[in-house]
Structure formats: structure tokens, C-alpha cells
Amino acid sequence: MLSNEINIIADIGGTNMRVAQINEQGDIVNITIYTCADFAGLADVLANFISAQQLENQHINACLAIACPVDKDLIVMTNLPWQFSMTELKAQLGLSELVLINDFTAIAHAIPQLSAQQKVQVGNGNVIENKPISICGPGTGLGVANLISINSAWHSLSGEGGHVDFAPIDQQEIAILNFLLTKYAHVSYEQLLSGLGIEQIYQALSYTKNGIASQLSAKEITASALSKSNPLAVETLAQFCRILGSFAGNLALTLGSYGGMYIAGGIVPRFIEFFTESEFRKRFDEKGRLSSFNHPIATFIVTEEQPGLLGASAYLKQFMSEKNTTYNTTYQTTNS
């Protein structure tokens, strides 16, 4: 990035939007949190930030991490009544560059930037530099992404991995699957590894044990499990950790994630001690004849509070570096 350019980043969720600036040293500064409902659209939020930071009439590059598909010019927000044209937004705000990425792509690009203080290792394993990295994030849904290094640059391989078929591996999980099949024609891992998933595991275990599908919120289940005041809640959270271990192990086995397997999202960081003492890592390793394949792979919980901004910053820096390199190469070739 050039020293005379202004670089701003944003992490846009369904409720809140975080906007920040990257200073000349590459640090994220001036983080401002906006309530999305207070604004008519994205342009209004960004204009407010630009005005508040007195950035008008300057060369501004922007990278926006957004929780919806970004493969077309017309962006329609999934959890907000906002829609906009990327081309029109860029012109309206007078931006030099506008880059939109999926919110989980941003989280993926944050991973190589994490310090030891921004993550917690679970179990054994060592990171091998520049090897593939896998990320999954239980939250409202189940986000999945992978990172691969090509020519010293990171590239995110995103998809809809959270919607692959749930594969039970013991009788209790078969019972959970059978319960969920009474509600859904297709049961994906997201139906278990999310806020709703915690609630549905609890319902399934309650039905299996008592014949009644008792209902509590994910927040109530987690609190009861951590206080050990409700044995069924304890078992629910333990089962959640086991299933997450199997799922994460599948990702690592598929990609060969010797750069590490990372658990992001808003759920697991709330009960790190419970998680590290659970059977997550045991399930991660248990892959039959290929258990030795997963055993050396390191697993981590992401504890960084702003992974979306960190990833958007990393993505924008890489994007601008690649663009400037291409420009300089083309200029030199043309004028040689």
C-alpha cells in the first residue's frame, strides 16, 4: 500500500458493523462500532466514518467483509434490509478501490496474523509453515474455510462445508440423528454445530432419555453446563464438543491441514476450559487407520475479538501489494 493512500476496513454483521482504518505502520486504528438498524444503508455508515475521521477528498481503498455472497455487483444482505451495487457504492463514496469479501473469508485471512495471545492451543500438534490451514466457526451457523499458500500469498478456499451430511459415529449420535430426521429431510453438521445445534442436541438427548424433547436456549444450556447444575446440559455441551472434534478432524483429513486447524466463531471461546478438557481432541484424532495422519496436526481456538477486521486488513494489504506489483511489472515491461 502506498503511503499517500487511506485504507479502511469493515466487518459487517446483521446487527453491528465495525469500521476501522489501517495506519501507515499497518496497525488497525480508530475502530468504530455502528448499529446497523440506525442507518438506511451501507453508504451512510461509511460516509459517517469517513467524515468523522476527516478523510474526505483523499485516495481511499476499502475492504469490506460482509455476511452474504459477494460474487455479483448487486449485493443483497442476508440478515439486513440493505442492498447496493458495488460499482455505485464505489462511485458514491469516491473510493479508489473497493474490495468485498465474505465474512468468513476475512476470518480465514486473519489466521496467519494471529499471535500466541490471540489463540489457545488444544492438545498436541505443531504448525508447519505454509501448509494448508482449515477453519470452522460454530456461531449462528457453521462457517468453513481453508487457506492455502501460493507464491508466498494466502488464498482462501471457501464453500458451504457446514452443510455436509452429519455422520454419527456411535449409538447416541445415531439417536440424535433419528430425532432430527423427524424435523428435517436433510441433517447437516450445522444443525448440531451452532447455537441452534446446541439446543437441538439438548432436545434430542432429552427425548432419548425421557421421551420429552425439553427445550432451553443455547445460552441457558451453556450456563447450566458450566455451573454443573443440569446433568443433561453438561452432556449436551460435551456432545457438542465431541461432534465438533469429528467434524474438524474430517476437515483436516480432507485438506491435510498441517498449517493448523482453527476453531473460530462466537460459541467456543465462551467455555475454553470446558472445551480443552472435553473429548474434542480425542475425536479429532480418531480416524481409524489414518489416526496417525491427524495426530500431528495442531488445533486452536481463536480468541482474537476482531478477527473480521484483522482478516480484512490482511486481505487488503495483500490485494494492494499484488496490484502494485502487477502495475510496476506492466509499466517496466511497457517502457523497456
Q: What average pLDDT does the segment 27-47 reach?
A: 95
Confidence of residue 20 (pLDDT cuts 50, 70, 90): very high
The answer to whether residue 333 scores a pLDDT higher than 60 is no
Query: Are 64 and 154 in the same domain?
Result: no
The answer to whether residue 131 scores a pLDDT higher than 90 is yes
Question: What integer pLDDT is reported at residue 5 of this predicted model?
Answer: 86
Query: Are 38 and 140 in the same domain?
Result: no
Query: Are 96 and 230 in the same domain?
Result: no
Question: What integer pLDDT is reported at residue 159 of this predicted model?
Answer: 82
pTM of the model: 0.89
The answer to whether residue 1 scores a pLDDT higher than 80 is no
Range of the domain at 190: 115-302
Query: Are 255 and 278 in the same domain?
Result: yes
**Structural domain includes residue 203:** yes
Tally the domains of the chain: 2
The answer to whether residue 336 scores a pLDDT higher than 70 is no
* Position 169, amino acid: I
Query: Are 225 and 80 in the same domain?
Result: no
**Structural domain includes residue 249:** yes
**Structural domain includes residue 32:** yes
**Structural domain includes residue 109:** no
Task: Report the CATH number that the domain containing residue 206 is assigned in CATH.
Answer: 3.40.367.20
Confidence of residue 15 (pLDDT cuts 50, 70, 90): confident
Query: Are 55 and 87 in the same domain?
Result: yes
Q: What average pLDDT does the segment 78-91 reach?
A: 91
Question: What integer pLDDT is reported at residue 326 of this predicted model?
Answer: 52
Question: What integer pLDDT is reported at residue 334 of this predicted model?
Answer: 45
Query: Are 260 and 126 in the same domain?
Result: yes
**Structural domain includes residue 1:** no
Confidence of residue 105 (pLDDT cuts 50, 70, 90): very high
Question: What integer pLDDT is reported at residue 100 of this predicted model?
Answer: 95
Summary mean pLDDT of the chain: 93
Query: Are 95 and 131 in the same domain?
Result: no
**Structural domain includes residue 110:** no
Query: Are 269 and 322 in the same domain?
Result: no
User: Is the separation of the CB atoms in 304 and 110 below 8 Å?
Assistant: yes
The answer to whether residue 176 scores a pLDDT higher than 60 is yes
Diameter of the chain measured on Cα atoms:
80
Query: Are 185 and 75 in the same domain?
Result: no
Could you tell me the strand order of the sheet in which 97-102 lies? 28-35, 16-22, 6-12, 60-66, 97-102
**Structural domain includes residue 268:** yes
| CA-based end-to-end distance of the chain | 25
* C-alpha cell read off for 181: 430426521
Question: What integer pLDDT is reported at residue 68 of this predicted model?
Answer: 84
Instruction: Tell me the per-residue pLDDT of 180-219, one tens digit each, with 9 for 90 and over.
Output: 999 999 999 999 999 999 999 999 999 999 999 999 999 9
The answer to whether residue 327 scores a pLDDT higher than 50 is no
Question: What integer pLDDT is reported at residue 325 of this predicted model?
Answer: 64
Question: What integer pLDDT is reported at residue 152 of this predicted model?
Answer: 87
Instruction: Tell me the per-residue pLDDT of 148-173, one tens digit each, with 9 for 90 and over.
Output: 999 889 999 878 899 999 999 999 99
DSSP annotation string for 34-54:
EEGGGSSSHHHHHHHHHHHTT
SS3 assignment, position 319? helix
Instruction: Give the separation between CA 172 and CA 192, rounded to whole angstroms.
Output: 13
Question: What integer pLDDT is reported at residue 57 of this predicted model?
Answer: 87
Confidence of residue 122 (pLDDT cuts 50, 70, 90): very high
C-beta neighbour count of 266 within 10 angstroms:
11
Task: Report the CATH number that the domain containing residue 43 is assigned in CATH.
Answer: 3.30.420.40
User: Is the separation of the CB atoms in 6 and 19 below 8 Å?
Assistant: no
Q: What average pLDDT does the segment 109-124 reach?
A: 96
**Structural domain includes residue 165:** yes
Query: Are 260 and 201 in the same domain?
Result: yes
Query: Are 159 and 264 in the same domain?
Result: yes
Confidence of residue 89 (pLDDT cuts 50, 70, 90): very high
